[in-house]
Amino acid sequence: MKVRGSKNIIIFLLAIFLIILYSFYYYFEKNKLKVILIALDGADWKVMQPLIDKGKLSNIKQLMDKGCWGALKTFEPLESEIIWTSIATGKTLQKHGITRRLMEDPDTGMYVPPTSNQRKVKAIWNILSDNNMNVGLVNYMVTRPPEKIKGVIISGPIVNLNDIDYYSRERSYPLFINLCPKEDFERFKILKNDIFSGIDRNMFPMFWWDVQKIDNFAAQFYQYLLKKENFNFSSLYIRGVDVTSHIFWSYLFPEEFEVSQEDVQKYKDVINNYYIWCDTIIGSILREMDKHTIIFIVSDHGFQKRPQENSMMFTKVDYLLEICGINKIKKGDKIAILKNESGDMQFPKKNIKIIGELSKEEFNEVRMEAKNVLKNIKVVETGDYLFDNIKDTKDGFSFELPNYYIRKKREFHFMVQNEEYKIMDLLVKHFFPGDHREFGIIIVSGDSIVKNKKIDGATIFDITPTILYIMRLPVAKDMDGKVLVNIFEKSYLKSNPIRYIDTYETDKQEAIRKPIRYINDEEKIKEKMRSLGYIN
């Protein structure tokens, strides 16, 4: 009996030893798994491939030779805030909840930049963090305020370096002061190679001149973190390819536009130079990678010529208020100012804020007076009322100019105070030569990835499932993407079968949360959107 008991104890201890040994093996194997996602907003093969053929993108070419590459299919609406959230979740906008470039604040009726709390599902960084993996994000879209994760989030979008305060308590997690010394933080802001230094700024008054400085700050900070932190997954978001493509597309592809040869010679290399500069950043990141790292380079969409008929039609709301005589309304010895607080061009709704030291009764009287003026404006040709859906908001009211008149019947007329105007008088056309198209780029390179192979059929929903697979985690069945199995070597697939789970949404959010307002930054973000032709 003693011998049998001793054997049982030995078997038990051996089992415990094997479990501990496997746990250590799993821990170290898991921590060897690393993925880097470089998000190049707006990158397109139409620009990249000629540069690769000329030897101008040597680091990207190296990744292609050692990995897979191809087009990445995206879906309407082609808005970065939506698409990058789909890339990070593997889910459609209906599921993840970031449905527009600007989201309505139910308290004011205003459209404001979406915030991370409005995302209804977990992103790849939440899932990995929940599974005890270390993650790091720098400037990824719709990550403000930063979520508390196992790792680091420097939230995006960053739109103005002057507003990035080292002592800020709501820009990063952990706080900047716990991530790096102040002298390093300030050093990250120094740009040594300004691509735009020789450009006449008067020629491009709407251009976002600081975008390279922001991308440089993000890239420098990201590389600093790569050296300091042991990330299983990390991502760097770069904006400038998109920004330059919107404004300078006509000079890179002049055969599609009416531009002078003199201007072509001056500005034809702006977009190319930005790609080349990004390639140097990628080269610096490659030097920090180890042999276990798999790197993804993806874009949310590509670029193409914007047809003239697709020029943006901006509504001149302030002009409308002026000709209606309601831009200022006198109430006794007080004057109420009516201010246009409108957002996204694609929203017909226009928000009017009433400003003044008014009593509640006076505020309501001003609002009613202004609404009545707009309600009674008729289209001369049809007799229909021009404005739809005039509603009260907390700060004033909102109204809509129907898209039917903006798009199809701009030549129709309306009457205001016995004066006749064309609907076209309320609109102004702006033309931005570069426009989003539905195919971006994808490059995947690293250990166990098939070499120098073209990827077919990849979509924005496939990135997160594929990263989960690389990280030895199951793919959720409620994701809309798939694992890109064709990029992996057959031996890798055989030894690592795909596993599935119903969902990662243990605390699924049904109701859309209110955006967290960053009043000082909202107008700056909208200003940058205007510079790209996104909003009015």
Burial class (CB in 10 A: 0-12, 13-18, 19+), 444: buried
Q: Are 305 and 317 contained in the same domain?
A: no
User: Number of folded domains in the chain?
Assistant: 2
Domain boundary among 396, 430, 464: 430
What lies within 8 Å, CB to CB, of 254 at 6+ separation is 261, 264, 268
pLDDT at 227 over 50: yes
Judge whether 475 lies within some domain.
yes
Give the tens place of pLDDT for each residue, 30-58. Answer: 557 899 999 999 999 999 999 999 999 99
C-beta separation of 37 from 467 below 8 A:
yes
Q: 28 falls in which pLDDT band (50, 70, 90)?
A: very low
C-beta separation of 290 from 63 below 8 A:
no
Give the tens place of pLDDT for each residue, 178-188. Answer: 999 999 999 99
Q: What is the largest CA-CA distance in the chain?
A: 111
Q: Are 492 and 454 contained in the same domain?
A: yes
Q: Is 447 helix (H, G, I), strand (E, B) or coil?
A: coil
Q: Is 376 helix (H, G, I), strand (E, B) or coil?
A: coil
Write out the H or E segment, with its range, that includes residue 337.
strand 334-340
| C-alpha dist (Å) from residue 200 to 196, 432, 461 | 9, 18, 41
pTM (2 d.p.): 0.77
Please state, in angstroms and rounded to a whole number, the distance separating the CA atoms of residues 210 and 208.
6
Q: Are 477 and 416 contained in the same domain?
A: no
Please state, in angstroms and rounded to a whole number, the distance separating the CA atoms of residues 33 and 388.
55
Please state, in angstroms and rounded to a whole number, the distance separating the CA atoms of residues 479 and 128.
15
Q: Are 518 and 415 contained in the same domain?
A: no
Please state, in angstroms and rounded to a whole number, the distance separating the CA atoms of residues 378 and 414.
6
Q: Are 393 and 420 contained in the same domain?
A: yes
Task: Output the average pLDDT for the chain.
Answer: 87
Beta bridge pairs of residue 400: 349, 388
Provide the token pair at 331: 């109430």
Provide the token pair at 168: 């800020």
Q: Are 370 and 505 contained in the same domain?
A: no
Q: Are 209 and 246 contained in the same domain?
A: yes
Give the tens place of pLDDT for each residue, 64-115. Answer: 999 999 999 999 999 999 999 999 999 999 999 999 888 888 877 778 889 9
Judge whether 149 lies within some domain.
yes
Domain boundary among 430, 456, 491: 430
Domain of 143, CATH number, reads 3.40.720.10
pLDDT at 309: 58
Q: Are 197 and 336 contained in the same domain?
A: no
Q: Are 334 and 220 contained in the same domain?
A: no
Give the tens place of pLDDT for each residue, 492-501. Answer: 999 999 999 9
The percent of residues in the chain predicted with pLDDT above 90, rounded, is 63
C-beta separation of 387 from 404 below 8 A:
no
Judge whether 417 lies within some domain.
yes
How far does CA 177 lie from the centroid of its chain? 26
The percent of residues in the chain predicted with pLDDT above 70, rounded, is 86
C-beta separation of 115 from 128 below 8 A:
no
Q: Is 333 helix (H, G, I), strand (E, B) or coil?
A: coil
Please state, in angstroms and rounded to a whole number, the distance separating the CA atoms of residues 113 and 94.
18
Judge whether 343 lies within some domain.
yes
Q: Is 42 helix (H, G, I), strand (E, B) or coil?
A: coil
Q: Are 133 and 235 contained in the same domain?
A: yes
Domain boundary among 382, 398, 430: 430
Give the tens place of pLDDT for each residue, 256-315. Answer: 888 889 999 999 999 999 999 999 999 999 998 888 899 999 999 999 998 765 555 667
Question: Which residue from 192, 231, 183 is spatially nearest to 223, judged by alpha carbons?
Answer: 231
Give the tens place of pLDDT for each residue, 473-482. Answer: 999 999 999 9
Amino acid at 172: S
Judge whether 1 lies within some domain.
no
Judge whether 329 lies within some domain.
yes
Q: Is 514 helix (H, G, I), strand (E, B) or coil?
A: coil
Judge whether 402 lies within some domain.
yes
Give the tens place of pLDDT for each residue, 341-352. Answer: 765 444 456 889
Judge whether 295 lies within some domain.
yes
Domain that holds residue 65: 26-309+432-531
Q: Are 411 and 277 contained in the same domain?
A: no
Q: Are 63 and 175 contained in the same domain?
A: yes
Sign of the C-alpha dihedral computed for residues 532, 61, 300 and 213 taken in this order: negative
